[in-house]
Amino acid sequence: MALEQDVEVLEKNNIIVSTLDKLWNWGRAHSFWPLTYGCNCCPIEMMAAGASRFDMARYGYEVFRASPRQADLLIVAGPITLKMKPVVERIWAQMPEPKWVVAMGNCATSGGPFKDGYAVLPGCDSLFDVDVFVPGCPPRPEALFHGLLELKKKVEGKS
Amino acid sequence: MESLFLDIAQTLTGWLQSLGLSAVWADFILLIIQFACVAGIVTINVIILIWLERKVSGFIQLRLGPNRLGPWGAFQTIADAIKLLTKEDIIPTRTDKWIFRTAPLFFITVAMMLYLVIPMGDGMQIVDLNIGVFYFISLASLSTIALLMAGWSSNNKWSLLGAMRSVAQMISYEIPLTFSLLGVIMIAGSLRLSDIVAAQSNIWFIVFQPVAFITYFIAATAELNRGPFDMPEAEQELTAGAYTEYTGMRWALFFLAEYTNLVAVSAMASTMFLGGWQGPWLPSWLWIIIKTYIIMFVFMWIKWTFPRIRMDHLMSFSWKVLLPVSLANIVVTGVGIYVFKWMGWC
């Protein structure tokens, strides 16, 4: 409590106190660079989100990186088959911290129509802690934007 | 306004000498300050350029580009820089650690050293070398080694393939680049960049050397690894080429160096072909900034308009088209100079 009172006193004297964490989170929240990963129909919506009608670039999230070393955000867009599972885990391990996951579409959220299949993982939340679920089959680009903006709020610590 | 920076430099030297330093030491300290200024200008330029690149690409593709952070998305690059600075720094275990670490440093150092000879205004040159053009060309080709270092040390097949591609491409395009500059050097009769600018006081060399300008422009695009010649980074084939294993700030240093090279090559183009800092009304340092930015805009325009071309087409284009054209240009220039002298026009 003493610390907060100090901050208040400083604010009255026109000195704004912030933490480095706030600045860092501001930077991180405004530049998610997604990894290009997907299966078939959710990625089409993801590509549409980057194209001219919807334009993901407005938020600064359009820098899709092909190498996991430079990506911050894994958009799991599609079902994860058991054969693909080790690959996804490896890609996730290769991404540098801090990193986030967005599960896009019903397949990534819960397995969708392939939930009872013998070769499909029912949802990617068994592999890593998913930050935002974007339901839909496939979700529209607006839904993806909503998911990304929710993630932005989460990273900035406002949710 | 014309001699603003020169006045600042003079005042600074006077102040340093008034502190009791000898003229040599004052000059030495001024040199360090000048180099620090170059580093600052380069960094600010890169922040503006990345924002500009994203905006230009947006407008060309009928999008808006970044517009949420600040006016017209001006703070977008700053957010990106903060994020890249705070990312985890991964050095994979099987890499060659020292080469992996030094490659980005080497790249950015070489890129910054290019600015030593470029005249950034009337009398605003850090060092006026008598072999300025030669210095520029030889240093520009050194950046190949940095890419090869990055690709080799990463111990990754994509990296190595990307590095090999960029070496092949840069060595091939180095030759037409040099030959296209030779035409200008023949007319100006000097390798000193200040002499070349002075020789353009009446008419720009782009008028005498239009073919050389086009060859230089194409070769420079390949030299910078920019689209449509960005084979070393071809994402669909090589993930990120030589930079595949680099994370956070190390990768950002490569990016910084690429944009630094872009500014240097554009400044060189405006010095060699567009009259350098010469121009009416406005101060000289503003003129070179305007000319450089126009050329960089054309670079971006080309990048976002043309699709990437195939590797073998790229190589055959250099050896079978650009090289003969630039060689023919040298011959025609030589004959032209002889005819001009014979007619008594110059």
* pTM to 2 decimal places: 0.84
Query: Is residue A66 included in any domain, yes or no?
Result: yes
User: Is residue B203 predicted with pLDDT exceeding 90?
Assistant: no
Nearest residue of A to residue B242 by CA position? A67
Long-range CB pairs of A128-132 (<8 Å, 24+ gap) are A128/A92, A128/A101, A129/A101, A130/A76, A130/A101, A130/A102, A130/A103, A131/A100, A131/A101, A131/A102, A132/A100, A132/A101, A132/A102, A132/A103
Q: Is residue B277 part of a domain?
A: yes
Cβ distance B83 to A28 less than 8 Å, yes or no, reads yes
Domain count, chain B: 1
B245: contact with A, CB 8 A cutoff: yes
Q: Is B72 on the interface with A (CB under 8 A)?
A: no
User: Does the beta-carbon distance from A58 to B65 stay under 8 Å?
Assistant: yes
pLDDT (tens digit per residue) in B38-85: 888 888 888 888 888 888 988 898 888 888 887 888 888 888 888 888
pLDDT value for A146: 92
Provide the chain A residues 71-100 that lie in CB contact (below 8 A) with chain B.
Answer: 72, 94, 96-98
Is B82:A24 a contact under the CB 8 Å cutoff?
A: yes
Contact between chains at B90 and A96 (C-beta distance less than 8 A): yes
Q: Does A156 touch chain B (CB under 8 A)?
A: no
Residue B132 in domain: yes
Taking 90 as the threshold, does the pLDDT of residue B328 lie above it? yes
pLDDT-based confidence at residue B183 (cuts at 50, 70, 90): confident
Residue of B nearest to A27 (CA): B79
Q: What is d(CA B312, CA B169) in angstroms, rounded to the nearest whole number? A: 10
Least confident range from A152-156, B185-189, B274-278: namely B274-278
Residue B2 is assigned to a structural domain of this protein? no
Location of structure tokens 């250099």: B318
Q: How far apart are CA B243 and CA B254, in angstroms?
A: 8
Residues of B in contact with A97 (CB under 8 A): 87-88
**With 60 as the cut, is the pLDDT of residue B277 above it?**
yes
The residues near B43 (Cβ < 8 Å, ≥ 6 apart) are B256
Residue B110 lies in a domain: yes
CB distance from A57 to chain B under 8 Å? yes
**Better pLDDT: A146 or A8:** A146
| A23 within a domain of the structure (yes/no) | no
Tell me, what CATH number does A67's domain have?
3.40.50.12280
Report the residue from A23, A52, A60 with minimal CB separation from B82. Answer: A23
Mean of the per-residue pLDDT values of chain B? 85
Residue B331: is its pLDDT beyond 80? yes
Least confident residue range of A1-10, A48-57, B274-283, B296-305: A1-10
In a domain, B38, yes or no: no
Give me the domain span that covers residue A152: 31-156
Q: What are the phi and psi torsion angles at A76 (to 5°)? A: -80, 100
Q: Omega into B66 within 30° of 0, i.e. cis?
A: no
What average pLDDT does this structure show over B141-159? 87
pLDDT for the residue A1:
55
pLDDT higher than 80, residue A13: no
The answer to whether the CB atoms of B79 and A26 lie below 8 A apart is yes
Taking residues A102-122, report their average pLDDT: 86
Residue B102 lies in a domain: yes
Query: How many structural domains is chain A composed of?
Result: 1
Q: What SS3 class is residue B311?
A: helix
Q: What percent of chain A has pLDDT over 90?
A: 6
On the 0-12 / 13-18 / 19+ scale of CB atoms within 10 A, B14 is exposed
The model's pLDDT over B89-104, given as tens digits with 9 standing for 90+, comes to 888 888 888 888 898 9
Q: φ, ψ for residue A133 (rounded to 5)?
A: -100, 130
Write out pLDDT tens, residues B227-253.
788 876 777 777 777 888 888 888 888
Contacts of B62 in chain A (CB under 8 A): 52
**pLDDT beyond 60 at A159:** no
| Confidence at residue B140, expressed as pLDDT on a 0 to 100 scale | 83
Per-residue pLDDT at A158: 67
Note whether residue B20 is domain-resident: no
For residue A18, being part of any structural domain is answered with: no
User: What is the pLDDT confidence band of residue B327, given thresholds at 50, 70 and 90?
Assistant: very high
Domain enclosing residue B232, as ranges:
94-343
* Residue B117: inside a domain: yes
